[in-house]
Amino acid sequence: MTKATLLCLGIGLGLCAPAKVKNILLIVSDDLKADALACYGSKVADTPNIDQLAREGTLFQNAYCQGTVCRPSRASFMRGRHQGGKEITWGEHFQKNGYSSTRVGKIFHMRVPGDIIAGTDGDDVPACWSAKYNMPGKEAHTPGNYACLNLNKFTTELKGRQSTRMPYRMFVTVDYVGDGSDQPDWKAATKSVELLKSFKEGDKPFFLATGLVRPHYPNVAPEQYFAPYPFKEMKLPFVPKDDWDDMPKAGISNSNSKRFGIDKFPDNQKRMWAGYLATVSFMDEQVGRILKTLKALGLDKNTAVLFTSDHGYLLGEHHFWQKGNLREEVTRVPLIMKTPGQKPGKSSSIVELVDMFPTACDLTGLPIPKSVQGTSLLPILKNPKASVKKTAFSFAGGGISMRTPNWSYMKYKDGSEELYDMIKDPKQFKNLAKVSSMEKELQSQRKLFEKRKSSL
């Protein structure tokens, strides 16, 4: 029996177990909503490199982040815990087991644009890495066509641009003439390629974590990446007129169209989509540069690749923007894993980002630290129809959500709730928790009425 045959343990069922993995390559995008990728159903996104990775690996259709903004999410998945604190990190554990551990760009939280402009570490954990490299850039100060879309401001002037810690920085786009080599993500891909090329047989096995900052605001990219997305062709998400009526107050995002004034500019909402997708395409190209180098060097034969984002994003769904809440567009993230010897597939099973760390341990044969709360996804990599858990949890502002295959439940710190049937209502328009509460109130009032009526 050949080695290849041994790897395909369940060949009669079409199952194929991944080969033993030597190295781990983790690529993390920033603020990337799953449905902004063609492989997750987008009809307009141009993302050929991530799509190819999805075709060659396992695409997890129902992956959920635990933190719904950058800092807690990254602290979570880098420790394999729902809410990470000071437990052992992925890089520390791998170093203790003979690996090099290298960070390129943003893995733990960095302020974007603040730490990117300054070239500083942000909330990095130095012990996680045997080497680290920051990727600076000018961000909103990149010379070119600047727009602050909620203010309806368009200019090429460098003065007065919304930037670090400024209130409207999240509505900024910049397109400019250039090849993109001045951008943080281009620099991160270039350094990652350099590191891969420096790897020699006999070196320590590596854990390389490359963090890309796009499509996180500001949406900056060369003009050729904006060209495929004419804003007039962008379609805005459908929002019912009474969408907020059955939402509890705690579930209504402060980052909404009316509060920021972008409700007055429908075309600028379309420009937000265009800028976001432009930077998604730019980020995708950088992912492609890394993966093509991995393959050209033959490292794909013993390296597992994991691609994900820290959380999703809202671009006008429910008239909400950004992140930091428990909506499906925020909690659901892209997650793709490709391992040597693996048969490609798609999984509809519920998984969490905390599952990446223990999966990497399983793939490389390392023990899983006791502090890890995630579950290895190796059974799903072997058989996409397998399931390792029934629920995924996400956290935001004192609230918590629980996602099951059929339902999304949210409970806030004031006790209010939301419940959605994700089969019949995947866009979360009908809050069944409120309907249920109303029915209870109606029953209570009916009993009171009957009691009063009988006493007359």
Query: What does the pLDDT read at residue 434?
Result: 72
Q: What span, in angstroms and rounded, lies between the C-alpha atoms of 92 and 200?
A: 22
Q: Report, in this order, helix, strand and coil percent for the chain, each rounded to 5.
A: 35, 20, 40
Summarize pLDDT for 172-221 with one digit per residue, the tens: 999 999 999 999 999 999 999 999 999 998 899 999 999 999 999 999 99
pLDDT for res 18: 59
C-alpha span between 13 and 197 (Å, rounded): 38
pLDDT 10s digits, 307-319:
999 999 999 999 9
Q: Note the pLDDT of residue 98.
A: 97
Structure token digits, residue 340? 């040597």
Q: What is the pLDDT of residue 201?
A: 84
Q: What is the pLDDT of residue 101?
A: 98
Q: Report how far residue 222's alpha carbon sits from residue 264's, in angstroms, rounded to the nearest whole number.
A: 28
Q: What are phi and psi of 160, to 5 degrees?
A: 80, 15
Q: What is the DSSP letter of 146?
A: E
**DSSP-based three-state secondary structure for 348:** strand
Instruction: Indicate the domain borders of the chain.
Output: 16-136+180-454
Sheet bearing 392-396, strands edge to edge: 392-396, 399-403, 407-411, 417-421
Q: CA 327, CA 243: separation in Å to the nearest integer? A: 13
The pTM of this model reads 0.93
Rg, C-alpha atoms of the chain: 23
What dotted CATH number matches 16-136+180-454? Answer: 3.40.720.10
Whole-angstrom distance, CA of residue 58 vs CA of residue 361: 17
Q: Are 34 and 304 in contact (CB under 8 A)?
A: no
Q: Which pair of tokens denotes residue 104?
A: 């390129």
Alpha helix stretches (DSSP H) within 78-228: 90-96, 114-118, 184-198, 223-226
Q: From first to last of the 456 residues of the chain, give the pLDDT tens digit.
A: 333 333 343 333 334 545 579 999 999 999 999 999 999 999 999 999 999 999 999 999 999 999 999 999 999 999 999 999 999 999 999 999 999 999 999 999 999 999 999 999 999 999 999 999 999 999 999 999 999 999 999 999 999 999 999 999 999 999 999 999 999 999 999 999 999 999 998 899 999 999 999 999 999 999 999 999 999 999 999 999 999 999 999 999 999 999 999 999 999 999 999 999 999 999 999 999 999 999 999 999 999 999 999 999 999 999 999 999 999 999 999 999 999 988 999 999 999 999 999 999 999 999 999 999 999 999 999 999 999 999 999 999 889 999 999 999 999 999 999 999 999 999 999 999 976 665 665 566 666 656 655 554
User: Which residue is it, tokens 């793709």?
Assistant: 336
DSSP string, 228-284: T--GGG--PPP--TTTTTTS-GGGS-SSBHHHHTGGG-HHHHHHHHHHHHHHHHHHH
The CB density around residue 376, as the number of other CB atoms within 10 Å, is 19
**pLDDT at position 202, please?**
85
Distance CA 170, CA 444 (A): 46
